[in-house]
Each structure stands twice: as C-alpha cells, then as structure tokens.
Structure 1
Amino acid sequence: MLRLTIQFGIIMLEEEYDINFFYENGFIRKQCQKCGSYFWTRDRDRDTCGDAPCDPYSFIGNPVFKKKFNLAQMREFYLSYFEKNGHTRIERYPVIARWRNDIYLTIASIADFQPFVTSGQVAPPANPLTISQPCIRLSDLDAVGRSGRHLTTFEMMAHHAFNKKDNEIYWKDRTVQLCDGLLNELGVDPFAVTYKEEPWAGGGNAGACVEVLIGGLEVATLVFMNLQQSKDGDIVIKGDTYRKMDNYIVDTGYGLERLVWASQGTPTVYDAIFPEVVGELMELAGVEHRLEDEDYANILSQNARLAGLMDVSEKANLLELRKQVASNIGITADKLGTIMEPVETAYAIADHARCITFMLGDGIIPSNVKAGYLARLVIRRTMKMMQDLGITIPLSDIIQMHINHLPEYPEFADRFDIINDILDNEEKKFQETLQRGKKLIQKSAKHYKKKGEKMPLDTVIDMYDSHGIPAEISKEAASEVGVEIELPDNFYSLVAERHSKSVQEEEKEIPYADHLKKLPPTKRLFYDEPNRMEFEAVVLDVFDNNIVLDSTLLYPEGGGQPPDHGTFMVDDALLKVIDVQIFNGVVTHTIEEIEDELHIRKGDMVTGKVDEKRRMAHARNHTATHIINDAARQVLGDHIWQAGAQKFVDRARLDLSHYKRIAPEELNEIEMIANQMVMENKRVISEWMDRSTAEKRYGFSLYQGGVPPGDRIRAATVNH
C-alpha cells in the first residue's frame, strides 16, 4: 500500500504539480523558508509561500486590483469571464443539501455534484460549467467577528470540468491558465501571486491542489480531483484510503467575499461585503465606527493583520492579539478590548444574520434536529449577542437589511413574511428558554456542588441540545450557586461540528447474502405495469421459506410503505406470500409456512397474483400523503417539507416540518384543498428519467421522501 501523509504527500505527488503553464509563463518552483511547502511564483526573490502566517496581510489599505468591487460586481465579472471562456453559467443550489444524505448544509460548490456526478453515474448539468454557490460552514463559528476574515456564509465561485478518459474537457494547464487570466484582467501584479501546492480531500474525493494567494490572503483553490475514497484503496491521505477514479474533475473554488475584500483593502472583510448592515448595527449598539478616522482604522487594520497569523477562536491567542496590537498603537490591552469587543460582536451579528437569511430563505425550519438544529444554533447565538450589545430591534429587521442589499436573491424578499413569522416564533421560544433555563441549570449545578465538582462540558452541551440553554447562561447560573463551568473558547464551533453531518445508519446485515450475491437484479414489473395483478415468472432460487424470481409484480417494503401480499401457484400448490423485501436489487418473497415440504425448484414456472385490495389501499394512501403535502404547501408555505411518512392498509401518517402548531382553520383549509383534488379525480402519471433532467424539471422537492440511489429516477405526478 502506498502511504501519503500531508508532510510527504507533496513530495510523492510531485509529478502531479508538473504543470506546463508554470514553465511556459515564467514561474519557478520554490520551497517556503518558513513552513516548508512548495509553491510557484514569478518572483525569483520571494522565499515565502504567500500564505498566512508565513506572510502577513499586505492588501489592507493597499488594494490588489485596479478597481474596487462590491459583491454583485465581482460575481458578475467572474461568471462573465468564464462564460467568455466557454463555460455555461448554471443557477445556484440551495444551502440546505436536499440531494445529499450525508451532510445537511452545502459546504462547497463541488457538493452540488457529489456523489452522483463526481462518480460518473449522472451527467453534469453542463460541461464545463461555472457557478457562484452560497455555502455555509459553522466550524469556525467562534472566530467570526474576531478574526476580521471568518464568515459563516460565503459564496464559492467556481468553474468545473468533468473529464473522462475518452472525453477530456480540460485539465491542469487550462485550469491554471484560466485562473491566471482572471487575475490579470482584475489587474493583479503578476509577481504578487503565488500558487501553493497542497493535497486536498473532502466529501469522499481527493486530489492534488494549488492554493492561489495574494497579499497573504488565499483567494482561490484549484483542485485536480482524481481520487475516490475506498476501503480497498492503495493511497492514504490524511488517514483515509483512496483509489484512482475512472473520471477526473476540475474542482475550483474562488472566494467571492475575499476577492471583494482584496479589491477594497478595508480593515475587515465585513466592512467590504455588507458595510451598510455593519453601519446600522454599530449605530444601534451605540458604537462609533468611523473608518475615515485614521486612528480607529489603524486599530482595526492592525488587529486584522495580526489576527490573520493566529487562531483567534482560542482565548489565549485572542489575549495575545490584544497585547500585540495594544503595544503597537500605545494603549493598554484592556483599553483595546473595550474598543474591539463591541465592534467584533456587531460584526458577528451582521455575519450571522446573513447566514440566517440564506438558511430560512432556502427553506430550513429551526428545530432540534438536522439542519434545523444548526439554524436554531445560529439564531439563538445571534439573539444572545444582540442582548449583549443592547440591540432591541427584532432580528427580522436585520434580516430585512440584508435582503434589501441582496437583489440578486429575490426569493428571499418573497419569503420574508414567513421568515419574519419564524423568527418571531423563535424569539418567543428563546425568551421562554432563558426564563426556565436558569432554574434547570441551577438544579443540575447543585448536584455537582454536593460532590465538590465542576459541571462537566458534556452536561452543558446536553443542556444546550435538549433545552437550547446558551452556554453563557449556563455558566452565569451555575456560578450563582457556587459551581464552576469551564467553557472551551470554541464552544459553539464544537457544538456545530457535532451536528454538521448526518448520522449514517450502520449497514444492515443482508440475510442470505451468500444466496443473493450470486443472483441478478429482479425485474420489477410493478413500475412498468402498476395496474396488472397477475404474472408469470421463473424461479431463480429457493432457500428456507424464501423464493427469488426473475421478475415480480409484488412491491417490496420501502419508502414507508409495507410490502404487497399475494399468492404463488406452482403446479397444483397454492402458496401465500406474506412478505416481500429487496436487497441490492434482488427481491425476496417470503412464503407462509406449510406443513408439507415446499415442492418448488429452480427453473420452475410460477403464476403470481397480487392481493389487489391491499395493493390499492396502499396506493390510495400513498397518493394521499402526496396530495396532503401539496395542500399543506399551498396553505402554510413552500418551506413545508416531508420529514417522514408511513402508509398502512387503513390509514397513513405524514410528518411535515413546520415552525409552529397548525391552527384549526389551517387544517380545515388543507383538508378542503386535498379533498377537492381527490374529487377532481386526476390521473397519477409516472415516468423514469435521468436524475439531472428530473432535478431541472421538478427541483429538489423530488427528494422529500429521501434520496434514491442511481442515475435514473421514477417521478410520479398528480394533476398532470
């Protein structure tokens, strides 16, 4: 097995960085004298890689582009550039990853295309393509505001090319050429740009990568993805095993907000990307934020430059930052803290409010599970910070500020009434939590006081998970009864990370695996002929009380629907089918036990009949769940999402995500609309189509019942 570590992986993958464009355009490969990384530069005198902390920010107060851009201008410049260079612009995906069952939030542009497109199962929506994809990452939540650069929400502008051995679109040379050309058109000094070598891994894929750096700031990442995570892989990167993929993908990410920041040279990224919101929040908090004041701007600039060299989510590093900046400008660290803390909090509120705008605008409903948990985490942290600064306006007013400056997202304005209602409901719940939270914490704290112990971190996190009690409130309440709580500086980042990925169910052991792995997939006639109730098929295998046929009309259990029942006639014997399951495409039929020996053999012909009464009852209740779902969306809003469903012969259950109890009059309206649809007796039309076509036609509402595997999807429509 070939083992690659981060330290040695770059050396062992050296041929991966042997890119002709660098040689042909005056670049030389050098090794950073500080971190040891290899990088490419046109500047023969440079001896550092250009990345922080090896190089401090030099663009603050000294913009690197020939003109200043705002977000909309930079986004359009980027997308137009790649359109001119043969790429198709595609629309963004939601920030909630409806098409994935392993992550809740869209964390990168390539996440839009994992796993089906990147694996080669499904064709990309265009090839090559360009996109500006809003992303959410909460892993650095506690650093937001303090560092001057961290964001919870950002747009990853990207160009992607999906290559196959027999159809290469473009690869490394063209990728770097396009990047260098973009920076040239933006007016960057070519000697100021470095391309740093760094292996990349994420989302089940990996490959060689170069980070694009200007003035100490990473503005883009160019990944050459040609590895896929595999238990049987022979390449190890960052502890995971990978194998070579049959296809190879250009996966780039350009930070929209960072490019705008570099173009303006403001003290922080927040002042560059949403200055109007920052200004209004500072005024509401009674904080003077006059960037034209040279002394004040100097404090912010020095703070941001030094923050770029350390992890400011840790309190020790933050205190060291305060000391260094205070020393440089000739004031005490305490005085500097008095100046910076309210400013940093206002920055964080502005950032978090934009994150909430995208979360709720794209249909996430705050709750105690999955993406809803992460939304509630950000909302409550924002409300707590607003209290700390004495900002008394509703959070929805700050969301409205952002929406006013996001005209390219008209869907957010359309959904503002629902967003406002959600936040009003969350505010009430938060206040109730604060009122009862103190009592709950102190009751628990007294238990630890008797034992003379500190309250464990796990207890604090459990209190947050179960009751939504902010860590700061827990600490204050416990201290009042003499119990100490030690909170890590990155508490909220830890909590977010704990809930950022879907908990994957362990693969269930497949019964009779030795039998099934030798059998071909069963032809599922019930999809092609749903109204047919009788069929003939050939027996492929028999084991215990189970029969496998070459084809079947009996529907297996799945999607919240119980299995069909029916009968098999073999010669003169009538056998009752009491269960139907599917394992890796092979359908098994369980036969009711009989006293006599089961006289059926491989190759026998079977006549099967479906229990029509049971099948039709399931079908009616299955269709009913979809009708009620649609009626609920009409009445309550398009944020409604199926959270679960179960169909029975005599009834069905539908779980819907909503942010408050449904009122009786709303229930009556949902019932009226659903019954009207039933009375209209519309046909149910189903058809198979490739996944990308289905997504274009129906959007991600396709996945309300879960994400099916494979490159083709069966879509059923009512009221066709």
Structure 2
Amino acid sequence: MPTGAELRDKFLKFFSGHDHLILPSASLVLKDDPSLLLVVAGMVPFKPYFLGKAQPPHPRVTTSQKCLRTQDLEAVGRTARHHTFFEMLGNFSFGDYFKKEAIAWAWEYLTREMGLSPKDLWITVYRDDQEAADIWHDSIGVPRERIVPLGKETNFWEAGPVGPCGPCSEILIDLGPERGCGSPDCGVDCECDRYLELWNLVFMEFNRDEEGNFTELPRQNIDTGMGLERIASVVQGVPNNFETDLLFPLIKEVSAIAGISYRADPKSDVALKVIADHARAVAFLIGDGVLPSNEGRGYVLRRILRRAVRYGRLVGITGAFFSRITGRVISLYGDHYRELAERSDYIQKIVALEEERFVGTLEQGLQILEEYLEKFEKTGEKSLPGGVAFRLYDTFGFPLELTQEILAERGLSVDMDGFRSSMEKQRQKARAAWLETAPINSFGVCTAYRCSKTDFQGYASLSTSSQIQALLSKGEEKGEASEGEDVEIVLERTSFYPEGGGQVGDRGIISGPAGEIAVSDTKRTPDDVIVHYGRVIRGIIRKDDLVLAQVDEKLRLATARNHTATHLLHKALREVLGDHVQQMGSLVAPDRLRFDFSHFAPLSPEEIERVEELVNEKILDNLIVNTFEARRDDPRVRDAIALFGEKYGDVVRVVEIGNFSKELCGGTHVRRTSELALFKITSEGGIGTGVRRIEALTGEALLHFWRKQDKTVRDISEFLKVDPDNITGKIEQLVHQLHEKDKELEQLRARIMLREADGLLDKVVEVDGVKLLAAQVPASDMESLRSLGDILKERLGSGVAILGSLFDNKVGLVSFVTGDLVKSRGLHAGKLIKEVARIVDGGGGGRPEMAQAGGKNTARLNEALSKGREILLRQLQH
C-alpha cells in the first residue's frame, strides 16, 4: 500500500515522463497577487502565465501545491473529506495541449498507475461542453450513461472573483452503496459520501474581469487538481481522509495526549480530526511567514489555532499541547517541504507562545459565556447580546466565529447587529483619536479637483520648481491662503518624499512670489498624488503660483541614514538569528528608527552585540549604496528581499548595499554606508506573538544620545565621589551593604514578632474545645503577616489563628489551622478566611492549613475578627 509521500512522488514523476517540468510548491502567501489572501488552488501561482502576462519556465508544468481554504471550516472533522490545509496535485498546460491530452492522461494515471477500476469511475462535464463529453466517450470509451452534464455551479471553475476561468470535467469514484445516503435519487451530484470527486480538469479558456465580463484568453490552457488526501484514502482503502497516513499519525498523537481512543465516541472523534487538520494548517502558515494577528492572514491563523486549542479542552487536554502536534506535522512533512524542517523550532515556539497567550484568557472568556448560558436556561433567551460577543472578541481574543460555534452547539446564536454596532463604536473612537493628532485628510483631492499624478523628483534633487495644482485649507479648496493658515498643497512635481514604507514624510519650505509655507508633513494619496501639509508663515500663497519646493536637507539626510540602517539591521538579524527573520513593520524618522521583525524569543545581550557589531562593520567598510529600477523578472531582482505583505508593481526599485544587502524599497538612502557614522541599538522587546521590536540610532541622534549618557555617568561618579571607571565597583559595594542592612532588619523584625506573638497568646479563647486566636496585628505587608502567623501557629501547638492587618489602605487577612484539627475536626483555613473576608468586602482562599484574603472595607476589620468565633463554631458544628 503506497504512502501519501509515495503517491505525491509518483504523480509528479508520471507527468514528468510526459514532458512536464516539476516545480516546487509556491508559498501559501503570494506577494504579487492582492486579489487572494491565501493560495486556494494549485493554479493560483500560475495566474500570470494563464493570463499571458508572464512567460512560464516551460509550457507544461506539474506540482504538488500547498493550499488553504476556510469557507468550509465548520465541516472539518464532520465529513470524510473537508480540510483547511490540503495538497493539490496538478498538471498544467500554458497554451500547449488541451482537452484531449488532459483527459487521456488523467484516465491513464487513475486506471493504470493507481489501478482503479474503470467501472467505478464516473465523469461530469459542463452542460455546454459537448466537446469534452465526446472525448470521454469516443476516445476513452466511458459509457454515455456515466458522463453526467452539470451546471455552472459545479462545472465551471473560477479561482476567485476575477481571473482565469473555464468549464471543467470531474472524475469521481463510486465507493459503493454502503457509503451512500440510500436515496433512490443518489448520484454524482449528491452530497453524500458515495461518489467521491477525485480529479477536476479545468479547461481554461476565459478571463473574468471585476464587472463579471468574460473574455477569451490569448491561448487555451489546462489546469487540473486532485487532492492528495482524497486519492490516498481511496488507494489506502480507508473510509475517510483522516485515516490516511497523511493525517492519522496526528490523530494518534492527540489521542495519546488526551488519553482517549479514536472511534470510542463520535463527538471526541470530531475534535481529534479538527486538531489534526488545524495543526497542518498552522504549521504551514507559520512556515510561510504568517504570524498570529487580528487581521488578514494573521487572523486566519489565529482563528484556526485557537479553535484547535479549544477542541483540545473539549477532549480533556488541560495543559499546553498544540506545539507538540505541530512538531509531529513537521516530522511527517519536513522531508518534502524543507521550509518546515528549516523553521521547526521557530514554528513550534510561535505556536507555544500563541497557545499560552490564548489559554490565559480562554477560561475567563468561557466563564463569561457560561454565566450567560446559565441565564439563558432560566429566561429562555436564544441570543447572546452583541456587546458581550464583542467584549469576548476585543478583550479576551475570542474570534467571533468561535463564540458562534460554542453557542451553536447549544442551539443559540449571537446578536450580530449588536456586535456590528459595538465594532463600529470602537472604530469611531479610533477614528476620532486619529483625527485629533493626524493632519487634515486630503486623499480625496485628486478626485475632487482633478489633480494629475505628482511627478516625484526627490531621489535626484532636494528642490523643485513647480506650479500649485490645488490649495486647500481644512479640506476645502481655496484660491489663496494668508499667514497663519494651515494648508494642504498639491504640486505638479516635487522633491518632498511622501510618507511610505515606514519612512516619514519630508519637511521643508515652499516659497512663492508673495509668501512661504513651512511644510510639516508629506503624504501620498491612493492615486499617487503627493500632498504637502503645512502653515503659511509669511505673506500670501495662491493657487497656480509658481513656487520653489525645498526639502529640509538636514532632516532628509538623517532620515536616509536611518533607512539605510534598517536594511543593514534586517540583514544582520537574518545572519545572527536565522532566515526566519522577516520585517514586519518599521518607522524611519530623522531622530530614530524602529524595526519590527519575526522572531520567537528575546535577543540575548550577546545576540544584540553581534548584530550591532555586524552593522557597524558594514558602516566602517564604506559600502556603496546602489539603487536602480528594474522589472520583476529581471535577474538582478531575483534574490532581492521583498517585504512580507507589501504590494509591488511590474517595475520595482532595488536598494543594494555592497554585496551585503539587497531589498525592494522606494525610500531614500545615503550614498555610502560611512554616512551613518555609527549604529546603536537602544531597546529590544516583544510587541506580539512572535514579533520583536528594535529601536536604534545613527548619526547626529546617536551623538546626542552618547552625550546624554556621558553626562549621566559623570553625574553619578560625582555623586558617588569616585572615578567614572570605578562606578560599577562602588555600586556593587553599596548594594552589598544594603543586603547586610536588610539581614539585620529581618533579624530585628523576627525578634519583634516573637515578642508580639508572646503577647498575642494571651488573647487565645476556646471554641468547642478548639483554641482560637483572632486578632488585629501590626504588619507592613502580606509577607510579614504570614510570617507572624507561622510563629503563632507553632506556639499554639494545636489551634486556629485568624489575623488581620491594615496596610496600603486595605485589609490583609490570614488564617492558619494546625494539621491535627484539619484531620480530626475537618476544619479548612480557606473556607474560614473566605467567610471572614466577606465582612470586609473582600475575598480569598487557600489550602486547609493556610489561607489568605484581602478586603476593601478597613472600618469593619475588628467586626470581621470578632465574628471569626461564630464562623469557627458554625464550621465545627457543621
């Protein structure tokens, strides 16, 4: 019986034997296709070839492509064949062969290579595609009664809302009436499990545009797709995809952790399948650079991962477990998909971090849900308020779909109008907060005033002469603006760099015939119009004036230093930490730089030092910073780093720093690395799951930083009256002296506590044969209160102590019960302190022999201690 890996290899070799080029799977994330969030089918990476926009490496190609879909998420684990992640085996023709060859090879592969019986195979065709039906009957010999014409919903394939498409023909296998629904109408279009679709042959003839219009492609193409999991289930003779060797080892791993058996309970079987499926999706998504977040691909990852963790709880797994399952995924698939093996530690650490983060809030969120579910049982309500669902989403990180799923299991729903209303209120708050600090938004300028695309000349020159295309104040068009007015200016051409790629917008001066504007920021609209934000500082500025726009040279150079530094830093991080490091965001300003990157752990002092040394080494090497524009398919662009999630056009700008760094970038840079002077990391920390942030300085800003540091050192040395070189030794000496004083203080406190304990023993009373000490005592914190309790417990021999103290404007309480009374009288310190704490508007608990609590009502401490006798008596008589 062939393994899944052998089936994958056999498929690729079969088509290689028919002159197909074997290509590796593309990433799940296609950087050059903004129309799709993730790769959903084997043909997606080849859209440019199908559209005739790019030349394929060979007219015939075959792949095993990683794919991920979430539209059938609820069906995962409940059917035999639905998945989030799956592998699509495919063969493709770019203007080479067409229907006849595609059909013949598919039939040959299934019947001869896989050994499937022709009598068990059924064919569907698009109802208007008589040509395909005739090929199946006349050339292949399939009986007409087993060639079924179907409509557009099933037999016309589209990769997305726009793009290549065409009629298709499906090959299905009849798994027998025992797998069917029993209906007399059961056939290939039935939703039951009897007829399993194995292979879809798409005859790519058309392109669909954004308006839904279909036009013929420049050439006819073939796109086929066969799920590896499906063909494996048939060949390996198992009833569903989950019992193939592609997934069943994961189910066994989860079963072992949960301590349950597969097929013991249908409900737990669903959970086991969901976790196994989701582990594959999570491992491959992270392996392709996706990190958990609250939007886009990151949200898909977070939702799948958290859904799996919750299903783990449903089968009794209480501790962290999911990174272990993703580790098993890597061991299963790492030989073929090397990116998994190479990023193994990284993937598992990201999973562990996200799982830990979610588990920390899962119980709180579930508790809130349970409270509402109990209320529903009493009131008969059927819908969770939208505000509650939003709180779970916003505060506890519950994806809305997870809340809906939990409620649906009990026949309940979420008030979606209320959820959307809460979401909109939050957006309005965020928008209002942004408007308080953001410049006036003039992004509608180009449309409203018909501005043409701005000619940016800032790479070559810092000053440009141009005519004012549009003049606005507070978002409204004006003919002129006077001194003191805030304005937005659009020029025909400019040297001002607009904010983008993490780099802040340029500042400077725009001078006209009768006035001047101080530009404080520069931004770009979606239509490539550059808007200058500023204030008239002299005279009058008029629309259509011929002006001179001059960038602040000092600020531009400082910004350029920091932008070049981010490229050096990015490369240095990859060399020191590994190729898993990807830029996740940045800020490039004149006074500092901020760089966010993917990494699973804090950098050690040694790693920070190595990164700094490497960057400074390249600065001192005085490397040439070369920039050039080229088409994406230019060989010079091939090894350049493209930023994750960034959209690029056909022509890109490349920034090359010696032989050290090469990135796609539209920002401004220095000419040689020596212009940075030096580089210093000032901070490093985490900002999210698997994302770290470094802040750093270069040039003049670094000089100011060092001057400030030097002054601090000199001030400390003067205060300590030592040489700067001896500061560390002096501080160590002072710290040692403080430790000695702390020891003396602790010894003094212990002696005082012993005296206090001796005095407190006079307040012991007897309650139903049990000694009780309930008293207010002086204590500075809970630790000293517990220490005094320990002493009293030892002095009592056998008894109960309830102690209270006031500190930090609140009540501290501890209770102790000696071991003999826990065993003989069933007393419990936690239950005792819990009732006492209620009187002071507090709460707490603990073990049978020791417990602690806190409270807010300091005025009722004595009352609470007095009632300790009643509470103890009640517990003794219970």
For 1:372 and 1:581, the matched residues in 2 are separated by 27
Residue of structure 2 aligned with 1:340, choices 243, 261, 266: 266
On the 8 A contact 1:125/1:692 being kept in 2, the answer is: no
Alignment of 1:250-289 (within 5 A): 250-274=222-246, 275-283=248-256, 285=258
Inter-CA distance 157–691: structure 2 relative to 1 (3 Å threshold): farther
Residue of structure 2 aligned with 1:467, choices 396, 399, 406: 396
Deviations 1:94-123 (A, max 9, x none): 223444445443222233245x55554444
On the 8 A contact 2:346/2:600 being kept in 1, the answer is: no
Deviations 1:76-111 (A, max 9, x none): 222223223233222212223444445443222233
Structure 2: state its 5+ residue gaps: 127-154, 175-194, 424-430, 432-440, 472-478, 481-488, 660-878
Inter-CA distance 584–379: structure 2 relative to 1 (3 Å threshold): closer
Aligned pairs, how many? 563
For 1:719 and 1:175, the matched residues in 2 are separated by 49
Deviations 1:498-551 (A, max 9, x none): 9xxxxxx9x99642437657x5x666555xxx355467x7869677685654x6
Inter-CA distance 150–655: structure 2 relative to 1 (3 Å threshold): same
2:733 counterpart residue number: none
Letter in 2 for 1:394: F
For 2:555 and 2:530, the matched residues in 1 are separated by 19
TM-score, with normalisation over the residues of structure 2?
0.55
Residue of structure 2 aligned with 1:380, choices 299, 303, 306: 306
Inter-CA distance 573–358: structure 2 relative to 1 (3 Å threshold): same
SS class of match (1:702): coil
Inter-CA distance 689–253: structure 2 relative to 1 (3 Å threshold): farther
Structure 1: state its 5+ residue gaps: 1-67, 163-167, 236-241, 290-299, 301-337, 499-504
For 1:695 and 1:253, the matched residues in 2 are separated by 34
On the 8 A contact 1:124/1:692 being kept in 2, the answer is: no
1:15 counterpart residue number: none
1:210 counterpart residue number: 169
On the 8 A contact 1:226/1:244 being kept in 2, the answer is: yes
Residue of structure 1 aligned with 2:357, choices 429, 447, 470: 429
For 1:173 and 1:476, the matched residues in 2 are separated by 46
Letter in 1 for 2:244: A
Residue 645 (1) aligns with residue 579 (2): no
1:411 counterpart residue number: 339
For 1:193 and 1:475, the matched residues in 2 are separated by 39
Letter in 2 for 1:261: S
Deviations 1:321-344 (A, max 9, x none): xxxxxxxxxxxxxxxxx5433334
1:40 counterpart residue number: none
1:389 counterpart residue number: 315
Residue 200 (1) aligns with residue 157 (2): yes
Deviations 1:128-181 (A, max 9, x none): 32221111222323322231222221111223344xxxxx43444443344334
1:220 counterpart residue number: 199
Inter-CA distance 442–393: structure 2 relative to 1 (3 Å threshold): closer
Inter-CA distance 466–92: structure 2 relative to 1 (3 Å threshold): farther
For 1:627 and 1:231, the matched residues in 2 are separated by 41
2:700 counterpart residue number: none
Residue of structure 1 aligned with 2:501, choices 556, 559, 565: 559
Inter-CA distance 283–226: structure 2 relative to 1 (3 Å threshold): same
1:73 counterpart residue number: 6
Letter in 2 for 1:703: L
Residue 687 (1) aligns with residue 621 (2): no
Residue 623 (1) aligns with residue 564 (2): yes
- Using the TM superposition, give the Cα deviation of residue 124 of structure 1 relative to its aligned residue in structure 2, in angstroms: 4.1
Alignment of 1:313-392 (within 5 A): 339-390=265-316
On the 8 A contact 2:523/2:530 being kept in 1, the answer is: yes
For 1:515 and 1:429, the matched residues in 2 are separated by 49
On the 8 A contact 1:353/1:399 being kept in 2, the answer is: yes
- Using the TM superposition, give the Cα deviation of residue 609 of structure 1 relative to its aligned residue in structure 2, in angstroms: 5.5
RMSD, aligned α-carbons: 4.5
Inter-CA distance 558–267: structure 2 relative to 1 (3 Å threshold): same
- Using the TM superposition, give the Cα deviation of residue 380 of structure 1 relative to its aligned residue in structure 2, in angstroms: 2.8
Letter in 1 for 2:503: Q
Alignment of 1:519-530 (within 5 A): 524-526=456-458, 530=459
Letter in 1 for 2:39: T
Letter in 2 for 1:346: L
2:70 counterpart residue number: 138
For 1:247 and 1:555, the matched residues in 2 are separated by 43
Inter-CA distance 573–421: structure 2 relative to 1 (3 Å threshold): same
Inter-CA distance 451–87: structure 2 relative to 1 (3 Å threshold): same
SS class of match (1:363): coil
Residue of structure 2 aligned with 1:654, choices 595, 599, 602: 595
Residue 704 (1) aligns with residue 644 (2): yes
SS class of match (2:559): helix
Letter in 1 for 2:328: M
Deviations 1:672-704 (A, max 9, x none): 5444443443332223333245798237x4033
- Using the TM superposition, give the Cα deviation of residue 475 of structure 1 relative to its aligned residue in structure 2, in angstroms: 10
State percent identity of aligned pairs. Answer: 29
The structure number with the bigger radius of gyration is 2
For 2:627 and 2:602, the matched residues in 1 are separated by 34
For 2:495 and 2:312, the matched residues in 1 are separated by 60
- Using the TM superposition, give the Cα deviation of residue 465 of structure 1 relative to its aligned residue in structure 2, in angstroms: 5.7
Residue of structure 2 aligned with 1:713, choices 652, 655, 665: 652
- Using the TM superposition, give the Cα deviation of residue 229 of structure 1 relative to its aligned residue in structure 2, in angstroms: 4.4
SS class of match (1:713): strand
Deviations 1:551-581 (A, max 9, x none): 66543443233344567899x8897684474
For 1:645 and 1:681, the matched residues in 2 are separated by 24
Letter in 2 for 1:211: E
Deviations 1:415-447 (A, max 9, x none): 222233223323432332234334544677799
Inter-CA distance 670–559: structure 2 relative to 1 (3 Å threshold): same
On the 8 A contact 1:145/1:348 being kept in 2, the answer is: yes
On the 8 A contact 1:568/1:575 being kept in 2, the answer is: yes
Letter in 2 for 1:422: I
On the 8 A contact 1:454/1:485 being kept in 2, the answer is: no
For 1:394 and 1:583, the matched residues in 2 are separated by 45
SS class of match (1:273): coil
2:445 counterpart residue number: 511
For 1:176 and 1:419, the matched residues in 2 are separated by 40
Question: Mean Cα displacement is larger for which, 657-666 or 250-259?
Answer: 657-666
For 2:230 and 2:336, the matched residues in 1 are separated by 19
Inter-CA distance 196–615: structure 2 relative to 1 (3 Å threshold): same
On the 8 A contact 2:41/2:159 being kept in 1, the answer is: no
SS class of match (1:402): helix
Deviations 1:367-402 (A, max 9, x none): 444333332333333333334434578333333333
On the 8 A contact 1:463/1:469 being kept in 2, the answer is: yes
Letter in 2 for 1:157: L
For 1:510 and 1:669, the matched residues in 2 are separated by 47
Inter-CA distance 562–451: structure 2 relative to 1 (3 Å threshold): farther
2:739 counterpart residue number: none
1:159 counterpart residue number: 91
Alignment of 1:587-602 (within 5 A): 595=539
